[in-house]
Structure 1
């Protein structure tokens, strides 16, 4: 007799954590939240002061566009290694090392004297962020197998708060610290260092056995009987990678260029930073709610359509009246950016085992971020070539339409193990 989806979930749910793993769930949850909070400031803090960074370091528009493309490139390159590192050292240890790289890179970036050093130190931080991106869903499934939707929503909210806080507070921090953009960006190294503390406690000698390498955990019968599926042969995996890549493209274009679009329309630097904070801040409440909605839907396509429609409306507003309706466009773009927690949730829903989720997460995120690389760079180049934002906005509209189409396919009620 064929099992329903709910029946499959009951039979294929990952094994419950050992007593040692259940010892301090609040500590793991705190680590997840603080980690998520620090996985975006390296990027979102830059947008409000991008004009000052360009002037100080002598960047052209194309080079600045390259700077906005560095995050997805690093996520693609370094994210591939995350599952292998987690198998060898344990996911919590790898996340700890990643956070250390984030803090060090952000601290060194504030001393960069030229574009090359600025890019290199930014890449160091982004390498640490990359492993965190991939391993967050794995840690959730490992420690909270019965609360995937709720915990994903919790750390998605922290993602948004970190991005919004960095976008909205970098200018005030800069002004309070003498008006130098370097001081404003350096603040976020301290918050990354703070996030190390919960993972140090999790990895204390008394807990090391509890967080050993991933293969040490008991494996479900289905996983023991067959190797995890090859993602390159799964249409579901490719659809999810495409959706993840296109939503990331839209997000990084917004992070990198929305403040400049507003400033070019006559909006002050401080207000442009606040508008970006609104865009990113909406992900806090919606990022908590949407994963729980997504897990209750048999097909996530309608949710993808609603979010994409908000993005299209926001682009239309930026085309017609970027300054006059700036706050409305920021709200619409903020709603559209919530495709990210939906994509994360779908990663957890499109595979049945922890090993499958780890492989799917690495494949979808690394492939998706690789697809995302040209987008922000092309937006900067198109702006340089045309001297305005209409052509870049038209390009962004085409990408959003593609995101909706591939997201509808990724939202089907299928798993990578189904061999489609």
Structure 2
């Protein structure tokens, strides 16, 4: 029995009665009530995706740029500062699980809008709370908004642009990389321009987050489905046991290991160069080069990935770049520093590839939501120990040999998991089985 009529181009649905005639849906979003309104809403979603992506990392990278000043201002111990660097993946894992349930109840647009409000509020209040505990709590509020938005971006792309998953994921990933590198690069100059106050330097990013609220506000009432689709989703949801899907597990491991590599790179690569004799300013510039590589490649890689039946070759190519980059860091860190920075920047583009595969490994919006939440939450949990372990190995060994060996070793299972996750299949086929196994 057909109870829904879906538009693949807009990702919207209409209720259909038993005689086959379309019926108006009182819960239908304004975007589905006419071509002009639909086109307007689609453009608004594009703007919202770009602005949201720009805000998904500045809360982290702007703090990294001013961490020493924040520690001095709040009297923060080194151990607490280390804890602060581990909070982002922990929050992403814990709060990301909530995103699919919130999206089913309120609609993905409303949840992302609330996420942008949470980011704005957290970034605005955390510089002025005056205590380490308050700073951590305000940071967690901002990270909660980032976590739910992280999970729901692939869902929104799948729903609104089902025939352009690659290009829209590329646009989103490129904006995310741009926001990440921009916050790292300009936070210190902006702070100096505002009088040298670290509070002002951190608060300025709340303004960008506030701007991102605007395009989502008109879409708050867009639940993304009429009553018939919501009923069908409730009936089908228990049958989709995401943990039964080998593809979901492979994608979660791939996501977690690539996140581990990215956090290690962001946290330690500049120090590796400095310890090899590279001046501090040059080391920071090398890290910026690594981060900037993600801007153009984050747009190109998803577009290429969606044109291939199997994304394994891209996974292997990115992994080989990482292996060569780590080998260079071990044998000639200063001599070939620029080449290693570029290669590791290419390798870190596994992140937009993982996001693209989330959209490709599920057929339905509900499937994408569950897969995105599972892969990102599980993956971020897996990524937490990596940067801490690198620090421990560096401290106890007195050099970078063991840490680089660890980074290299982690790339092997990352490549294997990515090849498995890149196979042409969907989690619905693997996980949507009855309890009796049929």
TM-score computed with the length of structure 1 as normaliser = 0.87
1:12 to 1:98, Cα distance in 2 relative to 1, 3 A: closer
Residues of 1 paired with 2:122 and 2:270: CA distance?
A: 24
For 1:21-420, what aligned pairs fall within 5 Å after superposition? Answer: 21-54=38-71, 63-111=80-128, 113-203=130-220, 208=221, 211-212=222-223, 214=225, 216=227, 218=229, 229-419=240-430
1:223 to 1:105, Cα distance in 2 relative to 1, 3 A: closer
Deviation at 1:263, TM superposition (A): 4.0
1:217 to 1:297, Cα distance in 2 relative to 1, 3 A: farther
Deviations 1:309-359 (A, max 9, x none): 112222223333434433222211211111011001101111111111111
Contact kept, 8 Å, 2:254 with 2:354, in 1: the verdict is yes
1:72 to 1:26, Cα distance in 2 relative to 1, 3 A: same
The more displaced of 73-82 and 398-407 is 398-407
Contact kept, 8 Å, 2:58 with 2:180, in 1: the verdict is yes
- Unpaired segments ≥5 residues, structure 2: 1-5, 13-31, 432-438
1:330 to 1:187, Cα distance in 2 relative to 1, 3 A: farther
Residues of 2 paired with 1:62 and 1:359: CA distance?
A: 35
Partner SS, residue 306 of structure 2: helix
Residues of 2 paired with 1:270 and 1:92: CA distance?
A: 42
1:111 to 1:314, Cα distance in 2 relative to 1, 3 A: farther
Contact kept, 8 Å, 1:65 with 1:379, in 2: the verdict is no
The more displaced of 218-227 and 325-334 is 218-227
Partner SS, residue 310 of structure 2: coil
Partner SS, residue 362 of structure 2: coil
1:160 to 1:15, Cα distance in 2 relative to 1, 3 A: closer
Residues of 2 paired with 1:112 and 1:319: CA distance?
A: 43
Partner SS, residue 419 of structure 1: helix
Give the paired residue count: 404
Larger Rg: 2
Deviation at 1:48, TM superposition (A): 3.5
Deviation at 1:59, TM superposition (A): 5.6
CA RMSD in angstroms comes to: 2.8
- Unpaired segments ≥5 residues, structure 1: 1-10
Deviation at 1:255, TM superposition (A): 2.0
Contact kept, 8 Å, 1:167 with 1:274, in 2: the verdict is no
Residues of 2 paired with 1:120 and 1:390: CA distance?
A: 37
Deviations 1:151-186 (A, max 9, x none): 111111101110111121122223323344443333
Residues of 1 paired with 2:124 and 2:281: CA distance?
A: 23
1:324 to 1:186, Cα distance in 2 relative to 1, 3 A: farther
1:395 to 1:50, Cα distance in 2 relative to 1, 3 A: farther
Residues of 2 paired with 1:91 and 1:363: CA distance?
A: 17
Residues of 1 paired with 2:200 and 2:272: CA distance?
A: 24
Deviation at 1:88, TM superposition (A): 1.1
Residues of 1 paired with 2:348 and 2:90: CA distance?
A: 19
The more displaced of 231-240 and 265-274 is 265-274
Deviations 1:253-280 (A, max 9, x none): 2222223334444555554443333222
1:154 to 1:237, Cα distance in 2 relative to 1, 3 A: same
